[in-house]
Structure 1
Amino acid sequence: MTRRLSVLAGRLRKLDGGSMFGSLPRQRWSDCIEPDAENQIGLASRVLLVQEPGRNVLIMAGSEPLLAPVPRTCRCQPQPLGLLDSLAQRGLDEHDIDVVILTHVHALLPPDVRSAFQAGDPPRLLFPGASYVTGARQWSRALRPHPRDRAWFVPQLLDQLEESGRLKLVEDSASGVLGEGWRFHVSDGYTPGQLLPELEMPGGPVVFAGDLIPGLHWLELDVTTAFDRNPECLIEEKERLLDHLVATGGRLLLARDPAVALAKVTRDRQSRYYAFDQHGCLDRCEI
């Protein structure tokens, strides 16, 4: 089966640099990604488009890209480019998407979207003909969140997903929705039941790393974030996934890295992981 991969750019996000690098000293992480005056760093919000014969699949880390853009209150406000704009550049619109895979259902809402929710006028879900695929344990966590991560789950968004009648929950590494050539790695370190899709490609498998490995700087095993629910578990999961990619010649698709979208991984003589064959973008690639 021929698959073509394209990286779609969503809205840029900013998060506290110290939170994204956990216990790593600021002197070290600020050399990796320069923070602004408020100590925030810019992160990408990439979505992977997988085009197969007769089917278009989107993979996204978090559920906020599912929401339709909020109308501008005045024309003087610039409209940030979003997921629909990236699809339109490839001749697609939201009705052309058949499956949306959510690695998890956290939602980091930008200010305009948060205001719409607070005003009781939440944006609708995009992709009205698509099945929404996520992990069963992640969904259970979202419905009964722990106080530590309750703020990351948006009840109104979860209600829309459930009421759509198109929500598909995955229990293990396989999915009847996706079929052959797809599998899932299930991760609990960042959030319980995070799904990391792996798809077969001619040049070796590609794994969408979600928030297990948000970018190249997190290839170091001991670099975790303050958002990880179980850092020790995450480190072990990261090592297993990276060893799998080294053994199979696989590639990582990075959802958050500011500059790199896709990279191969190897291990040096000191057993440290590092990336090579890096790509900043992909457009209908059969790699």
Structure 2
Amino acid sequence: MKLTPLNGNSQQLDGGAMFGNAPRALWSRYLTPDALNRIPLACRCLLVETAGRRILLETGIGAFFAPELRERYGVVEAGHVLLDELAALGLSDADIDVVVISHLHFDHAGGLLAAWDGGPARLLFPNANYVVGREAWQRALNPHPRDRASFIPDMLTLLQASGRVLEVDGKVPDCLPANWRFHFSDGHTPGMLLTEIPTAEGPLVFAADLIPGAPWVHVPITMGYDRYPELLIDEKQALLEGLLAREGGLFFTHDPHLASAKVVRDGKGRFGVEKWNCPGLG
């Protein structure tokens, strides 16, 4: 099995929104804001090559936004960075067999669409099954007013028309390795799917927006975007306890500096991370 982190474009978002209940005096120690109070964020994906299959966990924000919306949402690059990174590996979107999406907010699924060119939206990854949690899929189709703007209606229509959406509610589908497992989280958005991959160094969990980066490993830290912050804290605590006991690690989508890390706890009982030796992710 080969694991390769890939960039899926990057963003600059308001630090107060990303750290929710934490004051700027605290969160600015983690990530330095610019003059507009924005912090740098990755939209990182994970390519897994195993048993003759190429599996992509998420697609990042991509480049589907028109220029004025790209500026509003702080998307840094105009081009589709994920496609460029695949090309550097000698691959294209047509070479991907499965795309696993934790949830369908545009910063995690926007890369499913081709870059904006003024024409209709176009779905990429023509040979892939799209795996998503059943509840997360239903949330995208029937969003709450609070997060309706986080979804891409044209993309959902294209996904439905493809006939290749696999809604899962716990069981790992046949298109993924049988020894993978799923965790589900409702704190950020209902039905978010967290994929756990076994590695020789321990289990690796694609943490999505439950723990978007190393600073959010600190249990009380949540985002202003989270639907149910107290539930998210409980879910985070449980996941971290489990990974600590199994000497596991986290893969971060939004951390601008760190792709993955091993879960640790200090003498005061506070969770943190340290570098680990997972090949390709250290």
Query: Does the alignment reach a TM-score above 0.5?
Result: yes
1:196: which partner in 2?
Answer: 194
Q: CA deviation at 1:173?
A: 4.9
The CA distance in 1 between the partners of 2:4 and 2:123, in whole Å, is 22
Q: CA deviation at 1:80?
A: 3.9
Contact 2:14 2:39 in 1 (8 A): yes
Q: CA deviation at 1:69?
A: 9.2
- Letter of the 1:94 partner, please give it: D
1:94: which partner in 2?
Answer: 93
- Matched residue of 1:207: which SS? strand
Q: CA deviation at 1:89?
A: 1.4
- Letter of the 2:280 partner, please give it: C
TM-score by length of 2: 0.88
2:105: which partner in 1?
Answer: 106
1:285: which partner in 2?
Answer: 280
- Letter of the 1:216 partner, please give it: A
- Matched residue of 1:31: which SS? coil
Structure 1 regions of 5+ residues with no counterpart?
Answer: 72-77
2:40: which partner in 1?
Answer: 42
- Letter of the 2:250 partner, please give it: L
Choose which of 148, 170, 181 in structure 2 pairs with 1:150: 148
For these two proteins, the number of residue pairs brought into alignment is 270
Q: Report whether the alignment pairs 1:28 with 2:26.
A: yes
Evaluate the alpha carbon distance shift between residue 172 and residue 204 of structure 1 in structure 2; reply closer, same or farther with a 3 A threshold.
same
Percent of residue pairs identical: 45
**Equivalences for 1:1-287 in 2 at 5 Å?**
3-60=1-58, 64-65=61-62, 80=79, 82-108=81-107, 116=116, 121-277=119-275, 285=280
2:73: which partner in 1?
Answer: none
TM-score by length of 1: 0.87
Contact 1:173 1:185 in 2 (8 A): no
Evaluate the alpha carbon distance shift between residue 79 and residue 13 of structure 1 in structure 2; reply closer, same or farther with a 3 A threshold.
closer
Contact 1:34 1:41 in 2 (8 A): yes
1:75: which partner in 2?
Answer: none
2:71: which partner in 1?
Answer: none
Structure 2 regions of 5+ residues with no counterpart?
Answer: 68-76
Q: CA deviation at 1:61?
A: 6.7
Contact 2:131 2:166 in 1 (8 A): yes
Q: Deviations over 1:227-256 (max 9, x none)?
A: 000001100110111111101111111111
Question: Which portions of structure 1, spanning 4 or more consecutive aligned residues, are displaced by more than 6 angstroms?
Answer: 67-71
Evaluate the alpha carbon distance shift between residue 82 and residue 61 of structure 1 in structure 2; reply closer, same or farther with a 3 A threshold.
closer
CA RMSD of superposed structures (Å)? 2.6
Evaluate the alpha carbon distance shift between residue 142 and residue 69 of structure 1 in structure 2; reply closer, same or farther with a 3 A threshold.
closer
